[in-house]
Amino acid sequence: MRLPWTKRATTQQTVQVQESAIRKGTSLRSFLVWLGPALMVSIAYMDPGNYGTDIAAGAGFKYELLWAVWLASGMAMLLQYLSGKLGIASGYSLPELVRQSLVKRRYIIPYWLAAEAAAAATDLAEYLGTVIGLNLLFGIPLIYAAIFGALDVILLLAMTGRRFRIIEQYFALLISILVVGILYNLAVVKPSLSEIGFHSVVPLAGSNAALLVVVGIIGATVMPHALYVHSWLSRNKMDLIGKKEEGKTATVGGSISSPVPPIEGHRVYTTEQKVKTNRVHLTETVVVLSVAGLVNAGILLVAIPLYPDASITIDAFVTGISHIFQPALGTIFVLTLLASGLSSSALGTIAGQVIMEGMTGIRANLWLRRIITRGINVFPTTVAILLGLPLLSLLVYSQVILSLMIPLPMIPLVYYTSKTKFMGALVNGKTTIILALVTVALILAFNAYLLYTTV
């Protein structure tokens, strides 16, 4: 069934608009006004799952897997740019487009449940980060930290009732704590610059154990829920800016340059406005996710003094670096982990809501959804604590599951952004399509090889 979109931008119009955008630059003011969507999404690339895989990589293989962090960061940057651009160009989120494409309920429901499973695996990692952070920072026993960690739902849902800009500022605060803390750790550890340079460009993974960590790094970095939510965030950010600049930035109703009809309650923008916004979106995505990549590399590098121990636990890691260097180093590291868990939980709440509403068209109660999700994750975590299982291993394996689920949003995302009927003047160019296809192929190849060697 064809989607109900008939207006398409001509090739000549696309070229003219893009050339005009290139000639104009991105002002600092427009960047600061737009700042938010990629900033919020960036926490998905600095969440507790990243801590688990990066610590395992550094403590288990020293500098050897540093290249995987840069590769994953580059792939994430491209895919997040495409997701944000999709929301800007089409006015739809990725889950909404998938639902309209699948049409029939017997196709929508399985896809929705699979997307929800990916979101639950994501939230498990975020919840574990909060639990471990509370345990190590305040000495709260793990079983009680699991209970207290589940109560962050109160904070998150209280925030959702306020202006969205406040939530963006909440993210900015926690991310600042995280980045400054990791930079301090790096300054104390002082890793080898020559080793960093060599292993950043030479891909090595000498064993199945190393490959498992590589796939975990990719799963922790290119995350399914982040691809779903970025399109929604950018679409809604346009509307927020449009409301502030009524009559200047947005127009209500149809537009001859719009490739898709508007969703009720959302504005329609001219092609020039979309291209201008996308230019700022690209700048934000590159800047913010570059910082996220540096943080990931920093976590890996901080773990190197604990080599060789690929199965090290978080508490053993913190104890180890505190003993080798100074107690403050471990405390600051745990503080960054807690900030990571709290902020990534907020993003997970938003992403889960976007997936459910986009795929089913049903607006769920935020309180009910968050309580159910937390209940699902409290159970396996509590069992792991009672059995004495290492929580870091649970973190790593949750990221491998996420990596296996990446194709769910990734393939539709590349397809939609490469079609003029969805994107208009912002359709992917040939170079972008090639890079996107290479990214898809690499991720699928890593997953297929992992399954082949472990099953």
At 258, is the pLDDT very low, low, confident or very high (cuts 50, 70, 90)? very low
Residues 208-254: tens digit of each pLDDT:
888 888 887 886 678 888 999 999 999 989 888 876 555 444 443 33
Look at residue 23 and tell me whether its pLDDT is greater than 50: no
Q: What is the pLDDT of residue 413?
A: 96
Round to whole Å and give the CA distance between 331 and 329.
Answer: 6
- CA-based angle 120:122:128, to the nearest 5? 100
**What mean pLDDT is predicted for residues 351-377?**
76
**What mean pLDDT is predicted for residues 281-295?**
94
Per DSSP, 425 falls in state: G
What is the C-alpha radius of gyration for the chain, rounded to an integer number of angstroms? 22
Other Cβ atoms closer than 10 A to 432: 17
Q: In 164-305, where does DSSP find H-type helix?
A: 164-189, 193-201, 208-221, 224-244, 271-303
What domains sit in the chain, N to C, each tagged with a CATH number?
A: 28-454 (1.20.1740.10)
The length of the chain is 455
> How far, CA to CA in Å, does 26 sit from each of 225, 315, 452?
28, 45, 46
Lowest mean pLDDT, pick from 6-15, 336-345, 382-391: 6-15
Cis peptide, bond prior to residue 261, ω within 30 of zero: no
**What mean pLDDT is predicted for residues 423-445?**
93
Look at residue 304 and tell me whether its pLDDT is greater than 90: yes
At 8, is the pLDDT very low, low, confident or very high (cuts 50, 70, 90)? very low
Look at residue 80 and tell me whether its pLDDT is greater than 60: yes
Look at residue 426 and tell me whether its pLDDT is greater than 60: yes
Higher pLDDT, 446 or 190: 190
Q: In 304-364, where does DSSP find H-type helix?
A: 314-324, 327-360
Cα 61 off chain centre by: 25
Q: What is the pLDDT of residue 14?
A: 44
**What mean pLDDT is predicted for residues 351-359?**
86
Q: What is the pLDDT of residue 296?
A: 93
Look at residue 3 and tell me whether its pLDDT is greater than 50: no
**Location of structure tokens 């952070």:** 133
Rounded (10°) CA dihedral 50, 51, 53, 59: 150
Q: What is the pLDDT of residue 415?
A: 96
**Location of structure tokens 């460009």:** 201
As given in the structure block, the two tokens for residue 251 are: 């127009």
Residue 439's nearest CA partner among 420, 414, 402 is 414
At 191, is the pLDDT very low, low, confident or very high (cuts 50, 70, 90)? very high
Look at residue 204 and tell me whether its pLDDT is greater than 50: yes
Let me know: does 235 contact 86? Beta carbons within 8 Å.
no
Range picked from 4-13, 151-160, 218-227, 429-438 for highest mean pLDDT: 429-438
**Location of structure tokens 């796939």:** 215
Residues 333-350: tens digit of each pLDDT:
999 988 888 888 778 878
Round to whole Å and give the CA distance between 123 and 103.
Answer: 28
At 66, is the pLDDT very low, low, confident or very high (cuts 50, 70, 90)? very high
Look at residue 116 and tell me whether its pLDDT is greater than 90: no
pTM: 0.84
Provide the b/e sequence for 356-388 (b: ≥16 CB within 10 Å).
Answer: bbbbeeeeeebeebbeebbeebbeebbebbeee
**Location of structure tokens 């399954």:** 451
Round to whole Å and give the CA distance between 176 and 133.
Answer: 17
Look at residue 41 and tell me whether its pLDDT is greater than 70: yes
**What mean pLDDT is predicted for residues 31-56?**
87
As given in the structure block, the two tokens for residue 283 are: 């700048």
**What mean pLDDT is predicted for residues 17-38?**
69
Q: What percent of the chain has pLDDT over 90?
A: 36
Let me know: does 277 contact 238? Beta carbons within 8 Å.
yes
